[in-house]
Chains A and B, each alone.
Chain A
Amino acid sequence: MSSQASLLLQKQLKDLCKHPVDGFSAGLVDEKNIFEWSVTIIGPPDTPYEGGFFNAIMSFPQNYPNSPPTVRFTSDMWHPNVYSDGRVCISILHPPGDDPSGYELASERWTPVHTVESIMLSIISMLSGPNDESPANVEAAKEWREKRDEFKKKVSRCVRKSQEML
């Protein structure tokens, strides 16, 4: 099982090095461990996050791709769908079994056809359009809804900080 996972991850890493995708770059945290990726997401243009370089760690489980990885921002991040410890909360990273009754359609949740690339694109689209219906960071969601200026100010602080770290 884990050999399937590491083969698949190696292949995806190689593909991404050969054909980089706009909006993010990816590499390993430690060359010897294929299950921990370090990714940098470029703040999408025309959003408060524009100009930022946000670092995150992707951790893959041994039974990838049957279970989803977790993604955690290591850069400061102010966003309704990112927990205060940096963990990203989007539906495609939830295993289908998360739903207690087990009967919800799996279409919005994790399925094994997702790749690093599709996850990254989901995260970039999350940055452009937060989902404030089920926020991970309630404070940020409230600000995003009610005090957009405050929210933007906080985000630009994160952007500036991320630039300083470069």
Chain B
Amino acid sequence: MDSEDDMLDAHDMESGDDDFYSGGTDDYNDTDDDVEPDYGLIEEDADNSAMIASHRSQKNYLVLKEEDICRHQKDDIGRVSMVLSISEVEASILLLHYRWSVSKLHDEWFADEERVRRTVGILEGPVVSTPDGGELTCGICFDSFRVEEIVSASCGHPFCPTCWTGYISTTINDGPGCLLLKCPDPSCPAAVGRDMIEKLASKEDKKKYYRYFLRSYIEDNRKMKWCPAPGCEHAIDFAAGTGSSDVSCLCSHSFCWNCTEEAHRPVDCDTVAQWIRKNSAESENMNWILANSKPCPKCKRPIEKNHGCMHMTCTPPCKYEFCWLCLNAWSDHGERTGGFYACNRYEAAKQEGLYDEAEKRREMAKNSLERYTHYYERWASNQVSRQKAIGELQKMQTVKLKKLGDIQWTPESQLKFITEAWLQIIECRRVLKWTYAYGYYLADQAKRQFFEYLQGEAESGLERLHKCVEKELEEFQHAEGPSEGFHQFRTKLTGFTSTTKTFFENLVKALENGLADVDSQAASSKSTNSKASKTKGGGKDKGSSKNGGSSRNPDDN
């Protein structure tokens, strides 16, 4: 009973739409006394995802499996049914209406029960009286039925079972709206609850209904979301307001709670959305066409030049012959223009700086395409690299570590440093990848300089680490027996892991405050400064000294 009270309290604290999320992590933990085992579950599983996640921050969320979702849903229904002294079916109807917010439902119910009952359609008694015996006419098919055969919702409007089944089946097949099903009578607000579905729907329809019912608990709930990974059926229960919005599902997919794209810290959701849109947009195709083709002067179809000769012939039916350089009709070319292969008119125009508009646009498009390609390639190859690292980590954990332990006479528990190195790589590849999207949209020249410096540092550290664990480890894996250098290797790899971590922490921190400590003028000197302090060692000191500098122009960005 204690925990029950705690829960109610915590829910009260969460009440109100605006400050729904304002409760800190502490409240949240109090709330879920009864789901404590879940934390244990995650740790026992020792799943990669959990480890990757724990690398990042303390958790302010829970991963729910289907059975957990069912249990939570049932608990909520049970609690409401008990507190409001209503049946579980009625409690479900209410919760569906109040989007599974127990606290909001309680507030409204105790403020004005009448009104809630009216809007939701839980009547206190039938509005149509049913006779004790005899026959009644079904309101849909107008056939007569004995009173015992007739079925009604709480309102008492009489319909026969066949018509009910048809009615329910049609709504269920129309989608999740069936969860808020009402009596077929147009003016009647009475809700049709789960008990009637259970009694009247076909087996298949029931299955669909319960699927919608379960989904509603996640999809209509403000603090729940499905994991967006394909095929994953877990959900995330999130307590916002504190910490990062990156969450990691048991299926090893990490994503951003806000935008449900894959995890992208330190880059913000807007940039990510813009970048993804750009990657998929037709606009890049358009740029390519502009940069690499010219429209036929007659039919305007884009033409890519695939031979050296300037004499172009458009494909049928157009068949227009023109000069690639000046785009004028080929028939005009001859002695007058200085020969077929030296289009003077063009040369002259170029000398006078009379590039025409189309030419200029093509030039610009070409540049912007090259710039985009630069960032995209790096973004994409870090993505690939990360995927490979995840695969490698799995192999490591399942087979390789054990083998290595046997060869080097080292217990597996002491080989954790290798797993940690891989986890660091996976996390860093993700961060690095997104910094390329960030870089693409970074316009400020001074900031860009500083950003590229930090990114470069981080990247080279990561490459060193990745190479070390990928290549140098090989040697020890194929050794005949314990190698002398293995201890040294351990020290080296552990060192690389921790320096790489520091580099990336700096990068993440700098990007998260929008590179605020860059003074637009003194950018170049700044980057040398930070270099100097880095050689001294403390990555953290560097941050604070820069922060001191930044206070001069806080609204730099």
The answer to whether B140 touches A102, judged by C-beta atoms less than 8 angstroms apart, is no
CA distance A34 to B141 in the complex (A): 16
CA distance A111 to B170 in the complex (A): 10
Query: Given A8-B141, A11-B142, A63-B166, do A97 and B177 touch, yes or no (CB 8 Å)?
Result: yes
Contacts of A165 in B (CB 8 A): none
Partner of B174, one of A7, A92, A96, A107: A96
The answer to whether A112 touches B182, judged by C-beta atoms less than 8 angstroms apart, is no
Quick check: is A4 within 8 A (CB to CB) of the other chain? yes
Contacts of A97 in B (CB 8 A): 171, 174-175, 177
Interface 9-residue window, one of B148-156, B185-193, B439-447: B185-193
Write the A82-122 contact mask toward B (1 if CB under 8 angstroms, else 0).
Answer: 00000000001001110101111111100111100000000
The answer to whether B177 touches A103, judged by C-beta atoms less than 8 angstroms apart, is yes
A93 to chain B, nearest CB (A): 13
CA distance A104 to B181 in the complex (A): 10
Residue count of chain B within 8 Å CB distance of chain A: 24
CB nearest to A106 among chain B residues: B182
Residue pairs across A and B with CB atoms within 8 Å: the count is 66
The answer to whether B186 touches A107, judged by C-beta atoms less than 8 angstroms apart, is yes
B508 to chain A, nearest CB (A): 39
The answer to whether A113 touches B177, judged by C-beta atoms less than 8 angstroms apart, is no
CA distance A1 to B165 in the complex (A): 11
Partner of A113, one of B139, B170, B175, B176: B139
The answer to whether A114 touches B186, judged by C-beta atoms less than 8 angstroms apart, is yes
A121 to chain B, nearest CB (A): 13
The answer to whether B185 touches A113, judged by C-beta atoms less than 8 angstroms apart, is yes
Interface residues of B (CB under 8 A from A): 139-142, 162-163, 166-167, 169-171, 174-178, 180-182, 184-187, 189
CA distance A105 to B171 in the complex (A): 12
Contacts of B174 in A (CB 8 A): 95-97, 102
Contacts of A65 in B (CB 8 A): 140-141, 163, 166
CA distance A1 to B186 in the complex (A): 22
CB nearest to A114 among chain B residues: B186
CA distance A112 to B160 in the complex (A): 12
Quick check: is A137 within 8 A (CB to CB) of the other chain? no
CB nearest to B176 among chain A residues: A102
Partner of A112, one of B166, B176, B177, B187: B166
Quick check: is A156 within 8 A (CB to CB) of the other chain? no
The answer to whether A102 touches B186, judged by C-beta atoms less than 8 angstroms apart, is no
Known: A107-B187, A112-B167. 16 other contacts (CB 8 A): A11-B142, A65-B140, A65-B141, A67-B170, A92-B186, A96-B177, A97-B171, A101-B177, A102-B176, A104-B177, A105-B182, A106-B181, A108-B186, A112-B184, A113-B184, A113-B186
